[in-house]
Structure 1
């Protein structure tokens, strides 16, 4: 996403744009990030059968041999192969191996010094506890090699807590907050029966007990993990388990985080008085009606906002920024991206508004009522 913001790629670029000669047509960066490409789960030649992971070159050479087991955007289908290819695209654009890019552009700036693709001591050993026994068996310590971008990072609770803090409040020097917001928008429903798990751009979006948790799970021989952040309260739950037979990591982590929020609730933000109401906004404040709904327009810290009168106070408002006299752009909330236009009468006063081309009037009116 950093490279996209810098102009190095577009999310709708195809893989062959960055891996010239690829014959796997029509697979896009966006599809791979959201696991909607339909590509098979693992690299060819079955690395998990013999636990010998492919090198970078083998990921690339095997890409064209891989099967597209589903139609693009037809359903969510997780693909480690796809993420390994994304890592190769990053490496080629940056001109250096993917682990170095992650270190220099992410983990080092976030002071995640114990996060990387190589093991660091002290560390927990991985085990498997078979059914019907209580005797742990050691799992192999496997180098992910070309699969590093898909599951080769090793980390600690401290480092992952820092990562969670970044997801809650990103440092604009590292990644634009707007870009992180984009990453948190659902691209596909991964749980079509329960509608509790969606996928954004590289991030899992888990709905748990009325809250949305953003993060990811991890699994490798001898370890299963979950790291999820509830962005509104800036609460992160990190669950690290050194066993291949653990509880479900996503719901367990979200459950831990929910307990923390409930037992140590976040202090409400103190009210801060504004200094002045911009002159051009004063005639717009108060009660309005559109599409049968009651709107309230107000000013907070000099910025115009709109709320549905029936919405709970916890619901975020639509926020506008002025782009020209009598013209505004919705920058967040309902109708984000749409224009708000002030229409004036012959006397120069405000007659009505147009929001996303719909009339907004001072009185509740039918759609065709004269103004």
Structure 2
């Protein structure tokens, strides 16, 4: 089950074997996806009497949250809700009603991390209605929007909102809208054979202890699901951009945008809309980690390179955070990806005439033509604000990113009007309508 060369597969398997042996993991699987296809799978240790396979189930914990987030974004794209909506509009009767959907998705709502129940990961859950009834103002730990604070409770609330808006359970909605269309039939709420047993490994002896497993019920959207390396590989491909019609690619890109950071000024890890984010070795990764008693799992995707990577293990703690980035490094070293082949494109003559040199005051900018009639405005030299634009039906252009994201660009014969800023062909062209007027250049 590999599309990489023998030397690459051997190097990847060795890194996995070192991890399983040094970290004393009962069983460990990993996989790499490239361009939407499973490129490599490896397994070490034992599940029952044999090695784990791509069909072996493991619990994936909080990776469940990223799938629930896709359901929320589908509702947004359908116009059922807006991310700026307060929760009260769709799930009335809770003390959390002033929190917005976006704040809940990005863990910036200020909610407590854990529910007001017994240790929910190790005990049977309570129904969503009972859970909501237990929530009070004491569950609000920070001013909404002030900071990132991871909240399992927030996703339990989002899962119940999805259930009410869809008129079914969050799990049935997930099966119908995400898991089924993506072919993830090995992803279930409770374990099915073959599956790994969750273990805690003794810190000072090579012995294990079986961990409990229950139906989390109302907390299910925060971490209920079990899955397989095969299915999680499909999820990695989805996160890398192969959305299979389940979600608009632009919406997935929106989910990958940073909404909060988890490590202060260094900003190496953060959170978007339901997706964890990581910057490592020049890569921008999006995905999610997952842990439940007896299980660890992580899936990352690098959308820029179309690559995804994952691991699944049946241990409560102990794996190295560098495992997946090490696997990506090995793939890059042994079999680096090829850039997309450059090909000339057809160009609208009117758009082609717009390209070239423009000036924001004295600062030179280059306007370039992009595929699908897009435009890119980039500073020449150091400093300046770069943005891309797409056309709108009224003849204006909409900013996609950077400082001018969401702003309007208007094109005239002798100037560009970018949200009141005037760009001219010559520095401060006196023939253009530059606000404040233009005098003479002098020594």
TM > 0.5 between the two? yes
The residue number in structure 2 matching 1:294 is 364
Q: What is the Cα deviation at residue 292 of structure 1?
A: 4.8
Query: Given that residues 289 and 298 in structure 2 are in contact (C-alpha distance below 8 angstroms), is that contact kept between their aligned partners in structure 1?
Result: yes
Q: Tell me the C-alpha RMSD between the 2 structures.
A: 2.6
Which of 298, 315, 335 is the aligned partner of 1:243?
Answer: 315
Give the aligned partner of residue 332 of structure 2.
Answer: 261
2:140 to 68, 77, 82: 68
- Please report how far the alpha carbon of residue 193 of structure 1 lies from its aligned counterpart in structure 2 after TM superposition: 4.3
Alpha-carbon deviations, 1:57-116, whole Å to 9, x = none?
Answer: 322222236521222122211111111111001011111111111011001100011112
Answer yes or no: is the 8 Å Cα contact 1:274–1:302 preserved in 2.
no
- 1:305 aligns to 2:368 (yes or no): no
Q: Return the alpha-carbon distance in structure 1 between the equivalents of residues 212 and 409 of structure 2.
A: 60
- 1:217 and 1:302, CA in 2 relative to 1: closer, same or farther beyond 3 A? closer
Deviation at 1:46, TM superposition (A): 2.4
- Which runs of 5 or more structure 2 residues have no equivalent in the other structure? 1-72
Does the CA-based 8 Å contact 2:198-2:293 persist in structure 1?
Answer: yes
Deviation (angstroms), 1:56: 2.2
The answer to whether structure 1 residue 95 and structure 2 residue 167 are counterparts is: yes
Distance in 2, Cα, partners of 1:222 & 1:63: 28
Paired with 1:54 and 1:292, the residues of 2 have a C-alpha distance of: 65
Tell me the equivalent position of 2:156.
84
Q: Structure 1 residues 291, 141: CA separation in 2 closer, same or farther (over 3 Å shift)? A: farther
Q: 2:121–2:292: 8 Å Cα contact kept in structure 1?
A: no
Q: What is the aligned residue count?
A: 360
TM-superposition CA deviations, 1:4-45 (whole Å, max 9, x none):
111222222223322322233422221111111111111112
**Which residue number corresponds to residue 27 of structure 1?**
99
Shift of 1:331: 4.1
Cα 1:136–1:291 change in 2 (3 A) is farther
> 1:150-170: CA deviations, max 9, x gaps?
001111111111111112224
Shift in CA distance, 174/196, structure 1 to aligned 2, threshold 3 Å: same
Q: CA deviation at 1:228?
A: 0.6
Q: Contact 1:289–1:360 at 8 Å: present in 2 too?
A: yes
1:47 aligns to what SS in structure 2?
Answer: coil
Q: C-alpha separation between the residues in 2 aligned to 1:71 and 1:99?
A: 31
How many Å separate the matches in 2 of 1:220 and 1:50? 8
> Do residues 339 (structure 1) and 411 (structure 2) align?
no
Q: Would the alpha carbon gap of residues 24 and 303 (structure 1) be closer, same or farther in structure 2, given more than 3 Å must change?
A: closer
Cα deviation for residue 254 of structure 1 reads 3.3
Compare relative contact order (CA 8 Å, sep 6+) and give the higher one, 1 or 2: 2
Q: 2:418 aligns with which of 347, 351, 355?
A: 355
CA–CA separation in structure 2 for the residues paired with 1:36 and 1:211: 24
Q: What TM-score does the superposition give when structure 1 sets the normalisation length? A: 0.88
Distance 2:344 2:122 in 1: 65
Q: Which residue of 1 aligns with 2:45?
A: none
For 2:343 and 2:121, the matched residues in 1 are separated by: 60
Aligned with 2:81 (options 2, 6, 9): 9
Gap change, CA 1:334 and 1:311, over 3 Å in 2: farther
CA distance in 2 between counterparts of 1:307 and 1:13 reads 33
TM-score, reference length from structure 2: 0.74
Aligned partners of 2:114, 2:241: CA distance in 1, in Å? 33
User: Is residue 320 of structure 1 aligned with residue 390 of structure 2?
Assistant: yes
Match of 2:68 in 1: none
Q: 1:21 to 1:141 in 2, by over 3 A?
A: closer
